[in-house]
Structure 1
Amino acid sequence: MSGPLRLVPPGPATSGPATSVPPPRLSGGRRRRPRWADDPIDELIADRGELIAEAVHPDEIAAVLEADGLTGDQAQERFGRRDTFELAAELYARVPRRHPGPPPRTDPWAARPGRFVFRGLVFALPGLGYALGAPFLSGPPDVLGLPAGSGALTASALVGWAWNQALAHRAYTRLASGGRAAAGRCLRLGAPLGALLACLAALLLPAPGAALAFAAGQSAYLAAATALLVLGRERLLPLALLPTAVGAGLSLAVELPSWVRVSALLATVGAVLAAAARVTVRAVDPEAAPGAVPPLTASLPYGLFGLGCAVLTTVAALGDMVRYGAGAALAGAVVIALTLSMGAAEWLLHRCRGLALAALAHSTGSAGLRLRAARVLGLCLTGYLAALTALVFATHALWPAASPGTAPPPLGAARLLAVLALGAVLWSGLLLQAFGSAWFPAAVCLTAAGAETAALALKISAPAVVQLAVCGAASAVLLAFATALLGRITTHR
């Protein structure tokens, strides 16, 4: 931008002062500029062209002109316009719009995808424990026709999933307000309590002693892993899981003795408990300020969302066995694919938040922001579903080798679409939680879980068809809400 505004145009080509012969007036009071005079507006445009081009309204130009000292009388005498507003309107019309782009900025949500691939593996590796513990879960089917102990293990997993989702939210909140010491105090009490409740849930259903012992180990692992994840020490989990991973790998080649299987499982549980205890105790500092303590109800929707997701995933895995009996195939490959996909889901949640901020920076109105936000949401969801599709095909292809003697149910169009619909529910619910909206996804997921459970109990259609209908509707509702939420400027503050 050039120098200050010039209010005095060049003098006329004739002799004498410029004001000796007043220019004639137009009808309506506007003065007519002599033909021999240079157009002073051209010089004004040359002086203030960049500012005029960037203005979004003529009044913005008028405000700058008045701030530079141009009065209404000067606008009439110097430029032949009634006032500064008429002059600004002409400047706005004559200069093409040229809005500047936003300055370069650092994306606060940028993250390397490799970290989230690692987290996906960390989430999925505990499933190898079921391969080692399968021989101990033998016996007559339970009341639902499931393998012995499945009911107790499922009840324990549902309670543990819901509790640890709520605990993780509360611990992260304490971490933000009071640091690692506050989070450590929260986990030191909440993690053992959650493990105890999950064990009690398993005891409510009839199961052999081996299944109850496995449920206790599962509950302890979930609680300890939650503590390590919140405190940023998830790299210790693969080390703790190494005995189970090695044992599961050996079981594919040779028949392992029972004591080897038990030793590998106990080594994993013992290692993860020791690591969590050490990290949690070291995090607690008696002299640190406690920080703000949020009410317990603040974490309730996160626990309810976890419960709804756990029920939906359980129905996806065991639905055929409950519907058709123990002879039906276990859809374990679906659960493994969903678990592995959580790494990609977390990374795409970060990308969605970063791209949403970029969309806000490039939008000049609410309509443009809504359109850009919808594009960002569609792009990130499509990326997640593509990753989930690849994982579903991969786990179905590898399942017979990973679990000899069993075969997953056929992967037809209905089952594949049902898994993708469930993935869309999980991802969009997590996205809404990331933007601070927790109750709505919790209510939608619990409603969907109740609908699928009722349909399974009443034997309405095939479980995959029911899941496709229910999760398809739930994901549509969640995505519509997410699109509206991301289209608001206040959401991105």
Structure 2
Amino acid sequence: MSGPLRLVQGEGDALPEPPRARVPRPRGEEAARTRPAWAEDPLDELAERLVEQVSSAVHPYEVAALLESDGLTGEQITARYGRPDLFTLAEDLHALVPRHYPEPPPPPDPWKADHVRCALRGLVFALPGLAYVVGAGLWQGRAALTGLVAAALFAWAWNQGLSHRAHVRLAAEGGAGAGRTLALGAPAGALAATAVATTLTGWGGGAAFAAGQSCYLAAASVLLVLGRERALLGTLLPLALGAAATLLGPLPTALAVALLLGTLALACGVAAHAVRRALSTGTVAGAVRPRLAGSVPYGLFGLAAGVLAATAGALSPRSVIVLTLSMGAAEWLLYRYRSLALRALRAATEPRRFTARAAGALACCLACYLALLAAGSLLAGTAPAPLLGLGALLWLALLLQAFSLAWLPAAVCLLTAAAVAAAPLAGMPPGPAQLLCWLAAAVLAGAACHLLGRPTAHR
């Protein structure tokens, strides 16, 4: 049948129509479900126009405020949308549009590393070693060598503690606070290191070379703290040219002395200028000066790292060159770990997952650094195993220091350095002594996973 039948009782008499019941109009999702496809509801058009704002609303009152700010009047609500008031329309619109809360844009990464700066720091750590090539004929004898090593160890320890204190005062007091620390601490450290060398060697060429070495290390520490890596690299260019010239033959003594003194004068002059600029920046009002004792473990770590590097250099000088050149990459990986940990902190929903992610980031960064050291040792023709153990120990110690966890790595590195230095005196072969670095690195790795696996460590 193609149409409705007309039922009749008799000729032309139709049945009376039943009374129509008043059906309430469905609202919200029920209206969208029961309304025929051909029945247009102006609410759909309104929902399509305001879908972004309505989808992020957590309560119909937010939708009501939106509609009111949109200029919708009561007459329009009643005549066009068939709702008795604004709040009814807001409830229907809130029920019609699915909820969608967009994620906020990710904030900028505060630990994004500067690739150029890290590469420059690797160069300025390694290039000063060319001074020993240029000035090889200016000092001779075991006593002179002992004085040079002793002065270098003292300078490394002093400048490591000085750099930490200057960084802390720079953050707390501004450039002037860091400038005062460096203006007093750098010359004092250079004089003390020179005195150490002179006590061991007496006056002579070795003591003079140690004095220049101590003054340069003090100036370099000043420039590195104040972020003047490019200026420091510029002061090393004459020394690099002189070292390149030694490939053609030994340099005349006068030329070697001129190159060394010229490099030293440039470094000290640039450092003095940088300190003057820092002092002119002013001090933060109301800043609290940090405690001096907080920098002690950083100085002790510098002493331990110097002893470990000197011991490794006595067995294989080229391994120390590889280790020094890798310091720029090591610093970049420290920044990378902090960036990955921050990303894990934002992504993890419970502490256990964050701990696992932080441990994975630590393993990844450490593995990258060790792979770099292994490649460098193969290129230099040295055994990779001793260098990898030392590199892992130093990188993990630097990582913990970056989180202000200084006493543990300082103590572990000091004990390891004392054991490694005493091993030859006890007749221990190099192999078991080098194993101590791996054991110490394992201790620091476990400590890092435990201490840095807590979300509160990355605040």
Give a deviation string over 1:371-406, Cα, whole Å, max 9, x none. 10011001111111111222223334xxxxxxxxxx
Letter in structure 1 aligned against 2:358? A
Q: CA deviation at 1:104?
A: 2.2
Letter in structure 2 aligned against 1:274? G
Give a deviation string over 1:457-486, Cα, whole Å, max 9, x none. 212122x4412x111011001111111122
| Residues 362/262 of structure 1: CA separation in 2 closer, same or farther (3 Å cut) | same
Q: Does the alignment pair 1:345 with 2:330? A: yes
Q: Does the alignment pair 1:114 with 2:120? A: no
Partner in structure 2 of residue 104 of structure 1: 106
User: What is the aligned counterpart of 1:183 among 178, 186, 194?
Assistant: 178
* Contact 2:337/2:362 (<8 A) preserved: yes
Q: Does the alignment pair 1:281 with 2:276? A: yes
| Residues 229/257 of structure 1: CA separation in 2 closer, same or farther (3 Å cut) | same
Q: TM-score, normalised by structure 2?
A: 0.77
Q: Which runs of 4+ in 1 moved over 4 A?
A: 14-18, 98-103
Partner in structure 1 of residue 450 of structure 2: 484
Q: CA deviation at 1:198?
A: 0.8
Give a deviation string over 1:71-92, Cα, whole Å, max 9, x none. xxxxxxxxxxxxxxxxxxxxxx
Q: CA deviation at 1:272?
A: 0.5
Q: What is the rounded CA distance, in whole Å, between the counterparts of 1:199 and 1:183 in structure 2?
A: 24
Q: CA deviation at 1:289?
A: 4.6
Q: Secondary structure at the match of 1:348?
A: helix
Letter in structure 2 aligned against 1:105? P
Partner in structure 1 of residue 74 of structure 2: none
| Residues 100/387 of structure 1: CA separation in 2 closer, same or farther (3 Å cut) | farther
Q: Secondary structure at the match of 2:423?
A: helix
Give a deviation string over 1:153-198, Cα, whole Å, max 9, x none. 1100110000001000000111111111111111000000111111
User: What is the aligned counterpart of 1:300 among 258, 272, 296?
Assistant: 296
User: What is the aligned counterpart of 2:352 among 355, 358, 367?
Assistant: 367
* Contact 1:148/1:208 (<8 A) preserved: no
Q: Does the alignment pair 1:234 with 2:229? A: yes
Letter in structure 1 aligned against 2:118? F
What stretches of structure 1 of length at least 5 have no aligned partner? 1-13, 19-38, 44-62, 66-97, 140-146, 321-330, 397-410
Partner in structure 1 of residue 135 of structure 2: 133
Q: What is the rounded CA distance, in whole Å, between the counterparts of 1:432 and 1:286 in structure 2?
A: 31
Q: What is the rounded CA distance, in whole Å, between the counterparts of 1:481 and 1:285 in structure 2?
A: 42
Q: Which residues in structure 2 correspond to 1:280-429 (within 5 Å)?
A: 280-285=275-280, 288-289=283-284, 291-318=287-314, 320=315, 331-396=316-381, 411-412=382-383, 416-429=384-397
Partner in structure 2 of residue 261 of structure 1: 256
| Residues 164/16 of structure 1: CA separation in 2 closer, same or farther (3 Å cut) | same
Q: CA deviation at 1:358?
A: 0.3
Q: TM-score, normalised by structure 1?
A: 0.72
Q: Does the alignment pair 1:168 with 2:163? A: yes
User: What is the aligned counterpart of 2:149 among 150, 154, 160?
Assistant: 154
Give a deviation string over 1:54-84, Cα, whole Å, max 9, x none. xxxxxxxxx999xxxxxxxxxxxxxxxxxxx
Q: CA deviation at 1:446?
A: 0.6
Partner in structure 1 of residue 411 of structure 2: 443
Letter in structure 1 aligned against 2:247? L
User: What is the aligned counterpart of 1:434 among 402, 411, 428?
Assistant: 402
Partner in structure 1 of residue 47 of structure 2: none
Q: CA deviation at 1:103?
A: 4.5
Q: CA deviation at 1:112?
A: 3.2
* Contact 2:120/2:229 (<8 A) preserved: no
* Contact 1:309/1:449 (<8 A) preserved: yes
Partner in structure 2 of residue 56 of structure 1: none
Q: What is the rounded CA distance, in whole Å, between the counterparts of 1:102 and 1:387 in structure 2?
A: 37
Q: Which moved more, 1:386-395 or 1:122-131?
A: 386-395
| Residues 101/424 of structure 1: CA separation in 2 closer, same or farther (3 Å cut) | farther
Letter in structure 2 aligned against 1:344? A
Q: Secondary structure at the match of 2:135?
A: helix
Partner in structure 2 of residue 466 of structure 1: 433
Partner in structure 1 of residue 84 of structure 2: none
Q: CA deviation at 1:287?
A: 5.8
Q: What is the rounded CA distance, in whole Å, between the counterparts of 2:424 and 2:191 in structure 1?
A: 29
Larger radius of gyration: 2
* Contact 1:109/1:351 (<8 A) preserved: yes
Q: What is the rounded CA distance, in whole Å, between the counterparts of 2:282 and 2:115 in structure 1?
A: 37
| Residues 375/267 of structure 1: CA separation in 2 closer, same or farther (3 Å cut) | same
Q: Secondary structure at the match of 1:105?
A: coil
What stretches of structure 2 of length at least 5 have no aligned partner? 1-19, 34-57, 61-99
Q: What is the rounded CA distance, in whole Å, between the counterparts of 1:202 and 1:275 in structure 2?
A: 25
Identity %: 48
Q: What is the rounded CA distance, in whole Å, between the counterparts of 2:281 and 2:361 in structure 1?
A: 45
Q: CA deviation at 1:231?
A: 1.0
Partner in structure 1 of residue 53 of structure 2: none
| Residues 367/101 of structure 1: CA separation in 2 closer, same or farther (3 Å cut) | farther
* Contact 1:308/1:449 (<8 A) preserved: yes
Q: CA deviation at 1:207?
A: 5.9
Letter in structure 1 aligned against 2:122? G
Q: CA deviation at 1:204?
A: 2.7
Q: Which residues in structure 2 correspond to 1:180-219 (within 5 Å)?
A: 180-206=175-201, 209-219=204-214
User: How many residues are aligned here?
Assistant: 389
| Residues 458/360 of structure 1: CA separation in 2 closer, same or farther (3 Å cut) | same
Q: Secondary structure at the match of 2:339?
A: helix
* Contact 2:175/2:281 (<8 A) preserved: no
**In angstroms, what is the RMSD of aligned CA positions?**
3.4
